[in-house]
Amino acid sequence: MTLSEEQRSKLDRAQEILGYAFQDEGVLLSAITHPSATEGKSVKFSYERLEFLGDSILGAIVASTAFHRFHELDEGGLTRIKVALVSGASLADVAAGLGFADVIVFGSSETGTGKRGLHSALENVYEAVVAALFLDGGLPAAVGFVERTLVPRMSLDMASEPENPKSALQEKLQEDGITPTYKLVETQGPPHDRTFVAQVYAGDQGLARGVGRTKKEAESQAAKTTLARLSEFFGLGGGEEKAAEKAAKAEEKAAEKAAAKAAKAEERARKKSEREAAKKKQD
C-alpha cells in the first residue's frame, strides 16, 4: 500500500490516539478518510461502509453495558441511555476530545470550506474506527475502545433525560406492539456534501419522511414528523383536546350502556309483574 506523506502521518497519529497497532492499516485508513478524498474511487476507501458496521457494533456494546449496569431500569430507561450516549452530538464530542479532527483525511474539495462537515465527519469516523478495530482485532478491541472513550459518559441521569424523537416514537409505538424501522430512501448531492432522506416504517407501512445532513438527522426528523401525525397514521396521540374528546365519548358510551341496562331491568320487572298478575287472575 503506497501512502502519501499526509496519510502516513495521520495513520501514525490515529494509532497513537487509539493505543492500538493495526495489522491491516488499510482498514484504519478507510476509517479516517472522508468521502471527499475518494471521489472516483470505490466506496470502500472511505469511512462510509465502515460507519454502517460500527453503528451496529457500538449500539450493541452500549446496550449490553447499560443492561448489566442498571438492573432496575425498564426498556424505556435503557433505550434513553443508549440513544443519548450514541447520539451524533455525543460521538462528535468524544471524537473531538480524542483529537480525531487532526487525523481525518479530507479531499481537496473541502479545502477553504472550513471543513463544514466536520461535526458529522467526527461522528462518522468514531463509528468507523469502532468497526475497524472490530475487523482488525475482534470484539475485545472494539469493546476496549468504547469502554475507555465513551462508556465513562454513561450515567443513570440519561434514563430520565428528554427523549429524542426516535426513542420517543419507539416507546409510543411499542405500547401497541409496533417496532419502527428506518430506511434511507434518497441521497442528494456530492459525496462530501450530501443530504439524506429517510423514511420511518411500521412493518410494511411507510410513515413520514425526514431530511438531514446525516442519516441519523434524517431519521430523527422522520420520527419527529411521525410523532406529530400519530393520529393520522394510527389514531394515536392528539394532545389534551383528543384526550378530552376520547374521555367524553367513553363517558357517553358508558351512559348509553347504563341506560340500556336499566331499560332491560325495567322491562324484565314489567313482564314479571304481568306474569304474577295473570297467575293471580287464574287462581
- CA 150 from centroid of its chain's CA atoms: 17
Residue among 55, 110, 123, 219 flagged as catalytic: 55
Q: Give 225: exposed, middle or buried? Use CB within 10 Å, 0-12, 13-18, 19+.
A: middle
Q: Estimate the crossing angle of helix 48-69 against helix 118-149, to 10 degrees.
A: 40
Helices and strands, number each (H, E), in the chain: 10, 3
Angle at 57 between CA 129 and CA 125, to 5 degrees: 25
Q: Rounded distance, CA 154 to CA 73, Å?
A: 14
Cβ–Cβ contacts within 10 Å for residue 251, how many?
10
Conformational region of residue 74, where left means phi above 0, alpha means psi within -120 to 50, and beta covers everything else? beta
Residue among 48, 51, 127, 219 flagged as catalytic: 127
Active-site residue, 51 included: no
Label residues 191-202 b or e (16+ Cβ within 10 Å = b): bbebebbbbbbb
Identity (one letter) of the amino acid at 120? S
Active-site residue, 127 included: yes
Q: Rounded distance, CA 106 to CA 101, Å?
A: 10
Q: Which residues contact 242 (CB under 8 A, 6 or more apart)?
A: 231
Report the catalytic residues: 55, 127
